[in-house]
Amino acid sequence: MTRPANTPWLTPYLTVANARAALDFYSRAFGFAAGDVVDENGVPIHAEMRYQDELVLMFAPEGAWGSTARSPRSLGVECPQTFYVYCDDVDAMHARAVAAGATSLMAPADQFWGDRYCMVVDPDGYRWGFGKPLAKAGAA
């Protein structure tokens, strides 16, 4: 095996303006739980977050390790990708995210591809879509 145990093959690694604020936001907004967090002088410089007991996200603050990477919000640009996350209740996730400070880009609605879906943007400018497959007609 060429990856650590309990680690997906692909994990987004984001740049955030403030890692402590991002830890708090992702926990309150999406129910993500902090995993490994590396602090330097009391400031998180690397964080991992889990959802449904799986690693789903890692991030570091702007300037960590001398990096010049910036979050979409800091750059003043629209994030070109959306992270698509399946959840148990799209409407509740949307409400929770907005209450925690996310901006709604698409209210929950049934979509042509067969999911109930919504989209929000987080304080760093990353877009998050949440979906749940619709029950098929005749399915019990």
- Has residue 3 got a pLDDT over 90? no
Average pLDDT over residues 9-22: 96
Give the tens place of pLDDT for each residue, 62-120: 999 899 999 999 999 999 999 999 999 999 999 999 999 999 999 999 999 999 999 99
pLDDT for 1 equals 60
Contacts 24+ apart (CB under 8 A), 68-75: 69/15, 70/15, 71/14, 71/15, 71/16, 71/17, 71/124, 71/125, 71/126, 72/124, 72/125, 72/126, 73/17, 73/123, 73/124, 73/125, 74/17, 74/124, 74/125, 75/125
Give the tens place of pLDDT for each residue, 46-58: 999 999 999 999 9
pLDDT attached to residue 138:
61
pLDDT at residue 139 is higher than 60: no
Q: What are 112-121's pLDDT values in tens digits? A: 999 999 999 9
Level-2 CATH architecture, domain 78-140: Roll (3.10)
State the pLDDT at residue 2. Answer: 82
What residue segments make up the domains of the chain, in order of their start? Answer: 1-64, 78-140
Question: Between 135 and 79, whose confidence is greater?
Answer: 79
Domains 1-64 and 78-140 share a fold: no
CATH 3.30.479.30 fits 1-64, yes or no: no
What residue has token string 């997906």?
8
What is the pLDDT at residue 66?
92
| Other residues' Cβ atoms within 10 Å of the Cβ of residue 71 | 22
Q: Distance between CA 109 and CA 116 in Å, rounded? A: 5
Are residues 7 and 58 in contact, defined by beta-carbon separation less than 8 angstroms? no
